Structure 1
Amino acid sequence: MNRTTLLLTVSLALALAAGPALAGPKCTGEAKDKWLSEEAMKQKIAEMGFKDIRTFKTTSGNCYEIYGHDKDGRKAEVYFNPVNGSIVKSEIGG
């Protein structure tokens, strides 16, 4: 195997290994009929103090994910369990 082929093989292996880690957390295995509706979840998120939500989506890990700001105005990326609304992972910026 030449150096270029080896480099490409290693790069591909690293990308495949990192893929699940970059995809975000796994929040639930429950069927969608057990989830809070998007409207109910948006209400819960607002009650938790998150605001200026520019993105609300469902992830491949079965989470509700938002991009917005916390109650102190800091940028927030937050993953929620869609069944009970609990925070699974959050990244709060300065």
Structure 2
Amino acid sequence: MKAILLSSAIALTVAGSAVAGPTCTEADRSTWMSQDMMKQHIMDQGYRIKKFKETSGHCYEIYGYDSKERRVEIYFNPVTGEAVKTEIDD
């Protein structure tokens, strides 16, 4: 029984880390762009934001669409505004 519980715990840990997003920064939160500034920065790059959030990895993340109307999920460094990880559904 203990082996089954241990195997389940290990499987859940591995599965959870597989879907975890990147870590974008360790910089102090006071150096981050405001959410409004970041949203504007993203829209200025041609993206349409459907959902915007802050992640546990200290990123700003969006779900939305690019200029070609493809669905995107993008993690941004909140200090620099640079895209750290981008996933595009063709």
What TM-score comes out, normalization by structure 1 length? 0.87
Determine the structure 1 residue equivalent to 2:46: 49
Deviation of 1:55 after TM superposition, in Å, equals: 0.7
Q: Within 1, Cα distance between the matches of 2:80 and 2:17?
A: 24
Alignment size in residue pairs = 90
Structure with bigger gyration radius: 1
Deviation of 1:35 after TM superposition, in Å, equals: 0.4
What TM-score comes out, normalization by structure 2 length? 0.91
Q: Share of identical aligned residues, percent? A: 47
Per-residue CA deviations over 1:13-32 (Å, capped at 9, x if unaligned) read 12113323322000000111
Deviation of 1:60 after TM superposition, in Å, equals: 0.1
Q: Within 1, Cα distance between the matches of 2:81 and 2:6?
A: 41
Which 4+ residue blocks in structure 1 deviate beyond 6 angstroms?
Answer: none
CA RMSD of aligned residues (A): 1.3
The answer to whether 1:63 aligns with 2:59 is yes
